[in-house]
Structure 1
Amino acid sequence: MKKLSIIVFIVCFVTASCSSEEEIQKEDTQKLEAMYNEIVSLSLSNSQPCTNSQEWDFAPIGSKACGGHAGYIVYSKKIDIDAFLAKIKEYTKAQSNYNTKWGIISDCSITIRPAGVECLDGKPKLSYKNPSAAKTTF
Protein backbone atom coordinates (compact mmCIF):
# COMPACT_ATOMS: atom_id res chain seq x y z
CA MET A 1 0.00 0.00 0.00
CA LYS A 2 2.84 2.37 0.86
CA LYS A 3 4.53 1.65 -2.51
CA LEU A 4 1.28 2.32 -4.33
CA SER A 5 0.92 5.68 -2.57
CA ILE A 6 4.46 6.64 -3.59
CA ILE A 7 3.82 5.62 -7.21
CA VAL A 8 0.56 7.59 -7.30
CA PHE A 9 2.35 10.62 -5.82
CA ILE A 10 5.15 10.41 -8.42
CA VAL A 11 2.68 10.05 -11.31
CA CYS A 12 0.66 13.03 -10.06
CA PHE A 13 3.82 15.10 -9.57
CA VAL A 14 5.13 14.29 -13.07
CA THR A 15 1.73 14.98 -14.64
CA ALA A 16 1.43 18.30 -12.82
CA SER A 17 4.98 19.27 -13.84
CA CYS A 18 4.29 18.48 -17.50
CA SER A 19 1.07 20.46 -17.65
CA SER A 20 2.75 23.33 -15.84
CA GLU A 21 5.60 23.29 -18.39
CA GLU A 22 3.07 23.30 -21.24
CA GLU A 23 1.26 26.27 -19.71
CA ILE A 24 4.53 28.18 -19.29
CA GLN A 25 5.53 27.47 -22.90
CA LYS A 26 2.08 28.57 -24.06
CA GLU A 27 2.44 31.84 -22.12
CA ASP A 28 5.92 32.39 -23.59
CA THR A 29 4.54 31.75 -27.09
CA GLN A 30 1.71 34.23 -26.53
CA LYS A 31 4.20 36.87 -25.34
CA LEU A 32 6.26 36.40 -28.51
CA GLU A 33 3.14 36.62 -30.68
CA ALA A 34 2.07 39.83 -28.93
CA MET A 35 5.53 41.34 -29.46
CA TYR A 36 5.46 40.38 -33.14
CA ASN A 37 1.95 41.74 -33.65
CA GLU A 38 2.99 45.05 -32.07
CA ILE A 39 5.98 45.25 -34.43
CA VAL A 40 3.79 44.57 -37.47
CA SER A 41 1.33 47.21 -36.31
CA LEU A 42 4.13 49.75 -35.83
CA SER A 43 5.66 48.95 -39.22
CA LEU A 44 2.51 50.09 -40.97
CA SER A 45 1.45 52.94 -38.69
CA ASN A 46 1.45 56.46 -40.13
CA SER A 47 1.76 55.03 -43.61
CA GLN A 48 -0.29 55.67 -46.68
CA PRO A 49 -0.68 53.17 -49.48
CA CYS A 50 2.67 52.28 -50.99
CA THR A 51 3.18 54.44 -54.06
CA ASN A 52 6.88 55.25 -53.65
CA SER A 53 9.19 52.40 -52.64
CA GLN A 54 11.77 54.96 -51.44
CA GLU A 55 9.47 55.66 -48.47
CA TRP A 56 9.89 52.07 -47.26
CA ASP A 57 12.71 49.95 -45.90
CA PHE A 58 13.16 46.52 -44.36
CA ALA A 59 14.91 44.97 -41.40
CA PRO A 60 15.83 41.44 -40.30
CA ILE A 61 13.55 40.05 -37.61
CA GLY A 62 13.43 37.00 -35.39
CA SER A 63 15.89 34.26 -34.65
CA LYS A 64 16.03 30.79 -36.14
CA ALA A 65 17.00 28.02 -33.76
CA CYS A 66 20.02 27.15 -35.92
CA GLY A 67 21.06 30.80 -36.03
CA GLY A 68 20.37 33.67 -38.34
CA HIS A 69 17.28 35.76 -38.89
CA ALA A 70 13.84 34.19 -39.22
CA GLY A 71 12.85 36.68 -41.90
CA TYR A 72 12.57 40.32 -42.89
CA ILE A 73 9.90 42.90 -42.23
CA VAL A 74 8.96 45.93 -44.31
CA TYR A 75 8.38 49.24 -42.54
CA SER A 76 7.45 52.78 -43.44
CA LYS A 77 10.19 55.38 -43.07
CA LYS A 78 7.51 57.69 -41.64
CA ILE A 79 7.56 55.90 -38.27
CA ASP A 80 9.96 56.35 -35.34
CA ILE A 81 12.62 54.09 -36.84
CA ASP A 82 14.90 53.97 -33.78
CA ALA A 83 12.07 52.83 -31.50
CA PHE A 84 10.89 50.36 -34.12
CA LEU A 85 14.34 48.80 -34.57
CA ALA A 86 14.74 48.60 -30.79
CA LYS A 87 11.49 46.60 -30.60
CA ILE A 88 12.75 44.27 -33.33
CA LYS A 89 16.00 43.77 -31.41
CA GLU A 90 14.05 42.98 -28.23
CA TYR A 91 11.79 40.54 -30.09
CA THR A 92 14.72 38.82 -31.81
CA LYS A 93 16.49 38.34 -28.47
CA ALA A 94 13.28 37.04 -26.87
CA GLN A 95 12.78 34.56 -29.72
CA SER A 96 16.39 33.38 -29.41
CA ASN A 97 15.90 32.86 -25.66
CA TYR A 98 12.63 31.04 -26.33
CA ASN A 99 14.32 28.71 -28.83
CA THR A 100 17.04 27.87 -26.32
CA LYS A 101 14.67 27.50 -23.35
CA TRP A 102 12.27 25.17 -25.16
CA GLY A 103 14.73 23.25 -27.34
CA ILE A 104 13.16 24.53 -30.55
CA ILE A 105 14.59 23.22 -33.81
CA SER A 106 14.42 24.74 -37.27
CA ASP A 107 15.24 23.82 -40.85
CA CYS A 108 18.59 25.69 -40.71
CA SER A 109 18.05 27.14 -44.18
CA ILE A 110 19.56 30.53 -44.90
CA THR A 111 17.10 33.40 -45.13
CA ILE A 112 17.91 35.38 -48.25
CA ARG A 113 18.34 39.12 -47.82
CA PRO A 114 15.89 41.09 -49.99
CA ALA A 115 17.23 43.41 -52.67
CA GLY A 116 14.77 46.11 -51.66
CA VAL A 117 11.13 47.09 -51.38
CA GLU A 118 8.66 47.58 -54.23
CA CYS A 119 5.09 48.78 -54.29
CA LEU A 120 2.53 46.32 -55.65
CA ASP A 121 -1.18 47.11 -55.60
CA GLY A 122 -0.59 49.83 -53.02
CA LYS A 123 1.24 47.52 -50.61
CA PRO A 124 4.95 47.29 -49.84
CA LYS A 125 6.56 43.98 -50.80
CA LEU A 126 10.09 42.71 -50.42
CA SER A 127 11.84 42.29 -53.75
CA TYR A 128 14.59 39.84 -54.59
CA LYS A 129 17.15 39.65 -57.38
CA ASN A 130 16.13 36.02 -57.82
CA PRO A 131 12.44 35.73 -56.77
CA SER A 132 12.65 31.94 -56.41
CA ALA A 133 15.36 32.43 -53.77
CA ALA A 134 12.95 34.04 -51.30
CA LYS A 135 12.20 31.50 -48.57
CA THR A 136 11.06 33.41 -45.53
CA THR A 137 9.41 36.80 -45.71
CA PHE A 138 7.07 38.72 -43.45
Structure 2
Amino acid sequence: MKTKLLLVACSFLFLSMQCDDDNDSGITPEMLNNKKQEIISYINSFNCSESSNCNYIAFGAKPCGGPREFLTFPSSVDLPTLQTMVDEYFEMDNAYNIQTGAVSDCAIVNPPSTMDCVNGNCIIIN
Protein backbone atom coordinates (compact mmCIF):
# COMPACT_ATOMS: atom_id res chain seq x y z
CA MET A 1 0.00 0.00 0.00
CA LYS A 2 2.87 2.37 0.83
CA THR A 3 4.32 1.76 -2.62
CA LYS A 4 1.03 2.72 -4.31
CA LEU A 5 0.73 5.90 -2.21
CA LEU A 6 4.34 6.81 -2.97
CA LEU A 7 3.74 6.21 -6.68
CA VAL A 8 0.62 8.40 -6.67
CA ALA A 9 2.41 11.16 -4.73
CA CYS A 10 5.36 11.08 -7.14
CA SER A 11 2.98 11.20 -10.11
CA PHE A 12 1.27 14.31 -8.78
CA LEU A 13 4.63 15.91 -8.03
CA PHE A 14 5.87 15.15 -11.56
CA LEU A 15 2.69 16.50 -13.17
CA SER A 16 2.85 19.69 -11.13
CA MET A 17 6.32 20.43 -12.50
CA GLN A 18 5.35 20.10 -16.18
CA CYS A 19 5.66 23.17 -18.40
CA ASP A 20 2.47 24.75 -19.63
CA ASP A 21 2.66 25.06 -23.44
CA ASP A 22 -0.44 27.27 -23.45
CA ASN A 23 1.38 30.17 -21.84
CA ASP A 24 -0.60 33.24 -22.90
CA SER A 25 2.33 35.57 -22.20
CA GLY A 26 4.61 33.82 -24.71
CA ILE A 27 5.58 34.98 -28.18
CA THR A 28 4.27 32.86 -31.05
CA PRO A 29 5.56 32.51 -34.61
CA GLU A 30 2.30 34.11 -35.76
CA MET A 31 2.97 37.17 -33.61
CA LEU A 32 6.45 37.50 -35.11
CA ASN A 33 5.12 37.08 -38.63
CA ASN A 34 2.37 39.66 -38.07
CA LYS A 35 4.87 42.18 -36.70
CA LYS A 36 7.24 41.57 -39.62
CA GLN A 37 4.41 42.04 -42.12
CA GLU A 38 3.46 45.29 -40.37
CA ILE A 39 7.03 46.55 -40.79
CA ILE A 40 7.25 45.47 -44.42
CA SER A 41 3.90 47.11 -45.17
CA TYR A 42 5.15 50.32 -43.55
CA ILE A 43 8.32 50.25 -45.66
CA ASN A 44 6.34 49.49 -48.82
CA SER A 45 4.14 52.52 -48.25
CA PHE A 46 7.14 54.65 -49.32
CA ASN A 47 8.81 54.73 -52.72
CA CYS A 48 12.32 55.23 -54.00
CA SER A 49 13.28 56.83 -57.28
CA GLU A 50 16.91 55.70 -57.59
CA SER A 51 19.33 53.33 -55.88
CA SER A 52 20.99 56.17 -53.94
CA ASN A 53 17.65 56.58 -52.11
CA CYS A 54 17.96 53.08 -50.62
CA ASN A 55 19.16 52.27 -47.10
CA TYR A 56 19.18 49.14 -44.95
CA ILE A 57 18.50 48.23 -41.34
CA ALA A 58 19.46 45.17 -39.26
CA PHE A 59 16.39 43.03 -38.55
CA GLY A 60 15.60 40.26 -36.09
CA ALA A 61 17.67 38.50 -33.46
CA LYS A 62 19.66 35.34 -34.12
CA PRO A 63 20.02 33.17 -31.00
CA CYS A 64 23.82 33.50 -31.15
CA GLY A 65 23.57 37.26 -31.56
CA GLY A 66 23.39 39.59 -34.50
CA PRO A 67 20.57 40.21 -36.95
CA ARG A 68 18.70 37.49 -38.84
CA GLU A 69 18.67 39.62 -41.97
CA PHE A 70 18.71 43.16 -43.30
CA LEU A 71 15.70 45.03 -44.64
CA THR A 72 16.00 47.68 -47.32
CA PHE A 73 13.96 50.85 -47.29
CA PRO A 74 13.78 54.14 -49.16
CA SER A 75 15.22 57.26 -47.53
CA SER A 76 11.74 58.78 -47.50
CA VAL A 77 10.78 56.44 -44.61
CA ASP A 78 10.45 58.12 -41.22
CA LEU A 79 13.54 56.53 -39.67
CA PRO A 80 12.60 57.00 -35.98
CA THR A 81 9.26 55.25 -36.62
CA LEU A 82 10.93 52.41 -38.52
CA GLN A 83 13.62 52.05 -35.85
CA THR A 84 10.98 51.79 -33.12
CA MET A 85 9.11 49.10 -35.05
CA VAL A 86 12.32 47.15 -35.75
CA ASP A 87 13.37 47.44 -32.07
CA GLU A 88 9.98 46.05 -30.99
CA TYR A 89 10.42 43.13 -33.40
CA PHE A 90 13.95 42.53 -32.08
CA GLU A 91 12.67 42.32 -28.50
CA MET A 92 9.91 39.90 -29.54
CA ASP A 93 12.31 37.74 -31.57
CA ASN A 94 14.86 37.69 -28.76
CA ALA A 95 12.16 36.73 -26.22
CA TYR A 96 10.98 33.97 -28.56
CA ASN A 97 14.53 32.63 -28.85
CA ILE A 98 14.84 32.49 -25.06
CA GLN A 99 11.34 31.08 -24.61
CA THR A 100 11.95 28.23 -27.09
CA GLY A 101 15.63 27.63 -26.36
CA ALA A 102 16.33 28.34 -30.03
CA VAL A 103 19.72 27.68 -31.57
CA SER A 104 21.16 28.84 -34.86
CA ASP A 105 24.18 28.34 -37.10
CA CYS A 106 25.80 31.46 -35.57
CA ALA A 107 26.82 32.59 -39.05
CA ILE A 108 27.31 36.33 -39.38
CA VAL A 109 24.79 37.96 -41.69
CA ASN A 110 26.52 40.73 -43.60
CA PRO A 111 24.77 43.94 -44.57
CA PRO A 112 23.95 44.31 -48.24
CA SER A 113 26.74 45.63 -50.40
CA THR A 114 24.53 46.60 -53.34
CA MET A 115 20.95 47.83 -53.39
CA ASP A 116 18.81 49.10 -56.22
CA CYS A 117 15.48 50.83 -56.67
CA VAL A 118 13.21 48.64 -58.79
CA ASN A 119 9.64 49.70 -59.48
CA GLY A 120 9.75 52.11 -56.54
CA ASN A 121 11.02 49.49 -54.06
CA CYS A 122 14.50 49.10 -52.64
CA ILE A 123 15.90 45.60 -53.14
CA ILE A 124 19.16 43.84 -52.33
CA ILE A 125 21.25 42.90 -55.36
CA ASN A 126 23.30 39.73 -54.85
The percentage of aligned residue pairs carrying the same residue is 24
Structure 1 residue 72 and structure 2 residue 70: aligned? yes
CA contact (8 A) 1:58 1:116 kept: no
TM, length-normalised to structure 2: 0.75
Which structure has the bigger radius of gyration?
2
- Deviation by residue 1:45-87 (Cα, 9 ceiling, x = unmatched): 133xx65223332111111111111110112333322101121
The 4+ residue runs of structure 1 with deviation greater than 4 A are 120-123
The aligned residue for residue 3 of structure 1 is 6
TM-score, length of structure 1 as denominator length: 0.70
Higher helix share: 1
**Aligned pairs, number:** 122
Give 1:26 deviation, angstroms.
Answer: 9.2
| Unaligned 5+ runs, structure 1 | 132-138
Highest relative contact order (Cα 8 Å, sep 6+), 1 or 2? 2
Q: Is the 8 A contact 2:59 2:69 kept in 1?
A: yes
Contact 1:118 1:125 survives alignment (8 Å):
yes
| CA RMSD, Structure 1 to Structure 2 (Å) | 2.6
**Aligned partners of 1:28, 1:69: CA distance in 2, in Å?**
18
Gaps of 5+ in 2: none
2:83 paired residue number:
85
Name the CA distance, whole Å, in 2 between partners of 1:52 and 1:103: 42
Distance 1:7 1:27, change over 3 A: same
Per-residue CA deviation, residues 70-111 of structure 1 (Å, 9 max, x unaligned), is: 110112333322101121122213322332343211100110
Cα deviations by residue, 1:96-128 (Å, 9 ceiling, x for unpaired): 23323432111001101111321346643213x
Alpha carbons of structure 1 residues 121 and 80: separation in structure 2 relative to 1, 3 Å: closer
Deviation at 1:6, TM superposition (A): 1.6
Residue 33 and residue 24 in structure 1: after superposition, are their counterparts in 2 closer, same or farther (change >3 A)?
A: farther
